Structure 1
């Protein structure tokens, strides 16, 4: 295996990376659990997967996976380390970029600094297929920027009025302020698949009525699952700890759908993760 800083790009051209931002409007809907297990499930499918913890002020991906990072994004922002030095290996060979928890200055970064965090991924000399971005809750600039910079925004909803309301608010702001016109929806903590579909339909009706230019797609539903709770307590991904559980199987199906999405072929003309790889690919083609 080449050293972390080896000039891999000069040996083998770096392939374009499909980037997927997982968000949810409000906290408590399970977006970080989905991010962690979606990344693990994609890695199990053979996809070279990197998980970015982009909840800059209240990060917990490392806690969910029982990892002990030596450096976090706070060190990157302060200039104490490079992006490649942050990367940890998680379950199934997935890679993780950890953020810091309880660092108020990270939660209060300026918009230009959020753009800078997106652009720093252009310097990463690793072969990857998919980037999963776990955003913070709410409609802050960091959430909007990371969703805008990804090819796909996945909005997690659960069967609570506040979850539907906040998901709609997030989708509206993404569409009106950032030009995001396609959103994937995952229904979480449902009793059965029909409940998940009904939850999606409820959100889709509201968006169709008031946001006619936004396309929603139902990506899947994840059931209530005691095995998932047990995996969280053990600081493991349910996808690897209990792969036969209902939640792990549901997330594996979502991963299979996401794995079929094609890598980007050209930049869209705005802020975007790994944009240099797309430009180089276009020049080669």
Structure 2
């Protein structure tokens, strides 16, 4: 029986304690602009964490334009749309991806998924608690932009990784997302990852531009330079084959960078959780 099937078949009581005594790190991977490689970052980071021996649940939170399954060449029978219709539970739709990561797939082309209702958020909050203590990391791959779903999932996470590319429009849109979360929702801490950079020098230049704007208009903000993923011709080759670059070309520059990023997260000592429960993160949203 594979790991996904193990989770599906495990009783609720056992799910709470079977694997790890501590709750997972909940990390949102987000961006202001589409096309910056955010989903590639999410899936390759999940792969890297699995290679480090961590149990990972990857949530496709681009609810009406999902593409994690397409990127990985997977064909899930059910997805989050079936959950919100009340037809399936999260455990029913759980699938296994590369290296044994667990994936909660979303739907594509279904407009009603573009803006979750409060009751749907509450239902999801209750469902996701089933996986508490059954994983080390919950990675949330959001949609692009600043719509309600993107804001919701950013607020649900303890940590946020904002993915930028060196393009000026990417920087502008990332700042817009950060500004909305900071001014309207009092989010003060963001980690910045520059994707498709020609080198560390260019990545640092992009980060400094963002920091200068943030320091001027959002002085109480904390921006942490997480690093960069280099431009790598192997990555689009892997995408065309519907495989992870980290899996297909493990010695590629991008693959090595994803693994170093995973190692950095593993070596960090995360801040203690407020109540040791994923539900804490979701419940806080309903006070807005």
TM-score, L = length of structure 1: 0.90
Residue in structure 2 matched with residue 29 of structure 1 by the alignment: 36
Residue in structure 2 matched with residue 257 of structure 1 by the alignment: 264
- In 1, distance between residues paired with 2:268 and 2:84? 32
1:172 pairs, out of 163, 169, 179, with: 179
1:122-158 CA-partner distances (Å, limit 9, x unpaired): 1236620001100011111111111111111110111
Residue 122 to residue 188, structure 1, CA distance change in 2 (3 Å):
same
What is the CA distance between 1:241 and its match in structure 2? 1.4
Secondary structure, in 3 states, of the residue corresponding to 1:186? strand
1:215 pairs, out of 205, 218, 222, with: 222
Residue 170 to residue 115, structure 1, CA distance change in 2 (3 Å):
farther
8 Å CA contact retained: 2:17, 2:133: no
Answer yes or no: is 1:77 the counterpart of 2:80: no
Answer yes or no: is 1:141 the counterpart of 2:148: yes
What is the CA distance between 1:118 and its match in structure 2? 3.7
Structure 2, unmatched stretches of 5+, are 282-288
- In 2, distance between residues paired with 1:62 and 1:103? 16
2:68 pairs, out of 61, 70, 75, with: 61
1:23-55 CA-partner distances (Å, limit 9, x unpaired): 110111110110110111111111100100000
2:14 pairs, out of 8, 32, 48, with: 8
1:43-99 CA-partner distances (Å, limit 9, x unpaired): 111110010000011000000011110110000000111111111111111111000
Answer yes or no: is 1:192 the counterpart of 2:199: yes
TM-score, L = length of structure 2: 0.89
- In 1, distance between residues paired with 2:125 and 2:36? 25
What is the CA distance between 1:264 and its match in structure 2? 5.6
Residue in structure 2 matched with residue 151 of structure 1 by the alignment: 158
- In 1, distance between residues paired with 2:217 and 2:156? 24
Residue in structure 2 matched with residue 18 of structure 1 by the alignment: 25
8 Å CA contact retained: 2:94, 2:102: yes
Answer yes or no: is 1:224 the counterpart of 2:231: yes
8 Å CA contact retained: 1:25, 1:166: yes
Residue 106 to residue 8, structure 1, CA distance change in 2 (3 Å):
same
Secondary structure, in 3 states, of the residue corresponding to 2:191? strand
Moved more, 2-11 or 228-237: 2-11
Secondary structure, in 3 states, of the residue corresponding to 2:160? strand
What is the CA distance between 1:244 and its match in structure 2? 0.7
Residue in structure 2 matched with residue 51 of structure 1 by the alignment: 58
8 Å CA contact retained: 2:15, 2:130: no
8 Å CA contact retained: 1:8, 1:125: no
Moved more, 6-15 or 123-132: 6-15
Structure 1, unmatched stretches of 5+, are 277-285
What is the CA distance between 1:274 and its match in structure 2? 4.1
1:40 pairs, out of 47, 53, 75, with: 47
8 Å CA contact retained: 1:23, 1:31: yes
- In 2, distance between residues paired with 1:261 and 1:175? 24
Residue 138 to residue 115, structure 1, CA distance change in 2 (3 Å):
farther
- In 2, distance between residues paired with 1:249 and 1:65? 19
Residue in structure 2 matched with residue 280 of structure 1 by the alignment: none
Q: Please tell me the root mean square deviation across aligned C-alpha atoms, in Å.
A: 2.1
Answer yes or no: is 1:163 the counterpart of 2:163: no
